[in-house]
């Protein structure tokens, strides 16, 4: 078997580097690390006669870092092992068979550092943060939004009415939930038409730009058909469940260049990101999604209902050794990546007006704050819930404590009485 351990290896700018958490299974960590390196590249479980010196010399990866206390290893791969612009192939290598090997007890892909050639082979976001702020006309504050609730059950007109109430209450964005596509009781095409009609009405009444995000998740050809339907009917945004649809589908949607902002929902991610010892980190998912080209991405909420530590949500983007991405931002979605525009972080999951000051203090203004039940669950309904959300944002921008601000704003006061304040 080739020697894949080289702790003296000096990484190259052309290397793709992976950081793993590795617990070996009844063997040394060095042997387990070598198995990960070989299985994710040129090797197999035994010596083979078809391996030649050229392959071994030019394509063999190197395990260049092993920390036995933390169980962290780092592997450098030649960029020539990967097909540029093909994310499914890249992930099939570095995040494929390795998770099922008997040599490992637990294995977690923590981070990936992509070389310049691979980064430039992807399109990245079409609009990014600047493009989204240009569309919405919102310059300095967070964008505010909601998800139609209940998730399922409303017909097309009911759905559109809830969206309208949220928009005239002051929210910028209304999106479909992750499992709403085209059901018997709520057909996609009719829902898009009815909701965009109410969007136009809300824009005229408020003088603000309003956004609707229809969920186009479906079989790939149907997905494209739906996205084109949104475009033809005056939509500006689309939403896709990137994990369940898959990376290939996401690339197809981005490469179609439809001139629509792509909002990425991460439904299903916790199946492999939640276990801190095995699977794939949300950091990795965020990098891959941005590289392919999502304009907005759910990253969690820190103070909401979903799991995810403050570090995982806020500090997505602490890069590993030899990361060619310049550290000009604390957040991976906003770091400078050559031709790749920044992706807007979306905070969602159990949020309500009482969470907003804490969330903004941690995450800043370059976020989308999405409140589902925290909007529609207001004692006076959706419109009042939307008003309360905007009031909470305003209190933070003006640096006025929520309780103080609420004394002069009844919608916010009622929201705080129901949901409380998260500090």
Q: What is the distance of C-alpha 215 from the center of its chain?
A: 15
Q: Which token pair is 295?
A: 């304009």
Q: What are the residues whose beta carbons fall under 8 Å from the beta carbon of 102, sequence distance 6 or more?
A: 25
CA 17/CA 81 separation, integer angstroms: 12
Q: How far is CA 259 from CA 121, 196, 293, 295, in A?
A: 20, 17, 12, 12
CA 255/CA 280 separation, integer angstroms: 25
Query: Which residues are catalytic, by number?
Result: 149, 265
**Strand, helix or coil at 172?**
coil
What backbone phi and psi angles, to 5 degrees, belong to 336? -75, 120
Q: Which token pair is 63?
A: 């395990």
CA 297/CA 345 separation, integer angstroms: 5
* Cα torsion angle, 272, 277, 278, 280, sign: positive
**Strand, helix or coil at 84?**
coil
**Strand, helix or coil at 384?**
helix
Determine the length of the chain: 423
Q: Which residues pair with 337 in a beta bridge?
A: 340
Q: Which token pair is 66?
A: 């092993």
CA 343/CA 292 separation, integer angstroms: 11
CA 159/CA 181 separation, integer angstroms: 13
CA 302/CA 315 separation, integer angstroms: 11
H runs (alpha helix) in 264-353: 270-273, 282-292, 310-314
DSSP for 104-147 reads: EEEEEEEEEE--HHHHTTS---SSHHHHHHHHHT--SSPEEEEE
């Amino acid at each position: 078997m080739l020697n894949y351990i080289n702790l003296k290896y000096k990484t190259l700018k052309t290397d793709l580097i992976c950081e793993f958490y590795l617990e070996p299974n009844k063997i040394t960590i060095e042997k387990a690390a070598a198995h990960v390196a070989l299985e994710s590249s040129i090797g197999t479980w035994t010596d083979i006669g078809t391996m030649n010196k050229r392959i071994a010399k030019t394509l063999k990866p190197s395990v260049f870092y092993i920390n036995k206390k933390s169980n962290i290893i780092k592997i450098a791969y030649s960029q020539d092992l990967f097909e540029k612009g093909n994310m499914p192939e890249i992930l099939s290598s570095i995040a494929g068979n390795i998770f099922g090997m008997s040599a490992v007890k637990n294995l977690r892909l923590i981070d990936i550092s992509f070389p310049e050639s691979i980064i430039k082979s992807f399109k990245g976001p079409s609009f990014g943060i600047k493009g989204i702020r240009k569309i919405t006309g919102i310059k300095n504050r967070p964008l505010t939004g909601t998800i139609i609730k209940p998730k399922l059950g409303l017909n097309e007109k009911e759905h559109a009415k809830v969206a309208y109430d949220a928009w005239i209450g002051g929210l910028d964005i209304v999106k479909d939930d992750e499992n709403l596509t085209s059901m018997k009781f709520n057909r996609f095409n009719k829902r898009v038409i009815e909701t965009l009609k109410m969007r136009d009405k809300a824009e005229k009444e408020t003088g603000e730009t309003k956004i609707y995000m229809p969920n186009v998740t479906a079989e790939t050809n149907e997905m494209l058909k739906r996205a084109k339907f949104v475009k033809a009917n005056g939509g500006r945004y689309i939403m896709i469940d990137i994990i369940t649809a898959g990376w290939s589908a996401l690339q197809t949607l981005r490469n179609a260049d439809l001139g629509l902002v792509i909002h990425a929902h991460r439904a299903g991610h916790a199946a492999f990101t939640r276990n801190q010892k095995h699977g794939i980190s949300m950091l990795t998912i965020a990098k891959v999604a941005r590289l392919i080209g999502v304009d907005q991405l759910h990253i969690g909420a820190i103070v909401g209902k979903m799991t995810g530590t403050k570090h995982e949500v806020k500090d997505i983007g602490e890069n590993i050794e030899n990361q060619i991405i310049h550290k000009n931002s604390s957040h991976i979605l906003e770091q400078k990546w050559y031709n790749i525009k920044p992706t807007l972080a979306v905070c969602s999951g159990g949020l309500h007006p009482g969470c907003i000051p804490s969330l903004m203090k941690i995450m800043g203004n370059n976020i989308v704050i999405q409140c589902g039940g925290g909007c529609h669950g207001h004692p006076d309904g959706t419109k009042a819930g939307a008003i309360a959300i905007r009031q909470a944002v305003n209190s933070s921008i003006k640096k006025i404590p929520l309780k103080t601000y609420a004394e002069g704003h009844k919608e916010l006061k009622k929201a705080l009485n129901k949901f409380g304040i998260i500090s």
